[in-house]
Structures are given as structure tokens and as C-alpha cells.
Amino acid sequence: MSRPPVPAPAPRPRSTTPLADYLDRPAPGAGPEYLVVPRSLAEAMPLRWQQVFAGLLADLHDAYGHLDWPDYRVVPSRWELVQDLDEQQLAAAGYVADLNAEGGLEYRRADGAVAGEAERVLAPVVDPLPVPGEDVPPPRPAPPL
């Protein structure tokens, strides 16, 4: 008499929050509140990727289009040492450089507190990514999750 087959182990349950799981890891263009997708890179994706992405965006906008969406201003920025910033970058980040009583340079936050030279701030930079219409390197598919 044969034995009944041993059932295969149940598949490990998948996450119910795969997008949050992915975006909670360091990812280009992702922060705690926003996901920024450079248009030039999105438009340079292979046709099938664009079709899927456009469908997902259409679903998102269909589901949440009734909300009062603001306009967003996206500024390319990097975390830089406060001492490495020029005047415009300092001002945009909410800092000023001034001479202290000893004649040395010190950096102050908008609230007047002195910032250390090793303090890192999110400062605007020239966008290193191509703009729409410029050549974009071919995409490299990501490894499976």
C-alpha cells in the first residue's frame, strides 16, 4: 500500500505592503513622504514598462483624483556638509554664513542656532539626470525582489 504524498510546505506569505517595504529601503528618488520619478527616465523606459507604468498611474489618479492635490515643486538636492555650500545653497537650505567674534566663519540655522561645520544639510544642486529629449542610458532591469 502506498503512502499518501507529503504535502508541500505552504508558501511563505507575501507582504501586504510591498510598495512600502520597497520604499522603506534606500531607493533613488524615495523619501519618507514622497516618491519622485524623473520624467526623462520614465519616458526612456522600454515600451512595455511605460504601458504598465501608465496603467498604474491611471489607476492611482482614478482612485485618488477626487482629492485636492497640490502642485509640487521638485528641487534636485543632495546631503552636503554645510561648510561646502555656496551662499545660494546656504540660503535655500535655511542657513547663513557669518563671521563670529574671533573672525572665523560660522553657520547659523534660521532659528539662530550655530551649526557645526560637519553638519549635513539637504541643499539644492544642479540636476545630474537628463532632461526630457536628452539621451538616456538604456535601462538595466532590477533583480527580482
Distance CA 37, CA 48 (A): 17
Residue with the bigger pLDDT between 117 and 76: it is: 76
Number of domains in the chain: 2
Instruction: Inform me whether the pLDDT recorded for 72 exceeds 80.
Output: yes
Would residue 23 count as lying in a domain? yes
Would residue 140 count as lying in a domain? no
Would residue 115 count as lying in a domain? yes
pLDDT of res. 135:
84
pLDDT of res. 63:
97
Would residue 24 count as lying in a domain? yes
* Joined grid coordinates for residue 106: 560660522
| 8 Å CB contact between 109 and 95 | yes
Residue with the bigger pLDDT between 3 and 97: it is: 97
Would residue 26 count as lying in a domain? yes
Would residue 114 count as lying in a domain? yes
Domain that holds residue 116: 77-124
85 shares a domain with 54: no
Distance CA 138, CA 118 (A): 37
Would residue 135 count as lying in a domain? no
Would residue 145 count as lying in a domain? no
pTM of the model: 0.69
84 shares a domain with 58: no
Q: What is the mean pLDDT of the chain?
A: 88
- HSE toward the beta carbon, residue 18, CA cutoff 13 A: 5
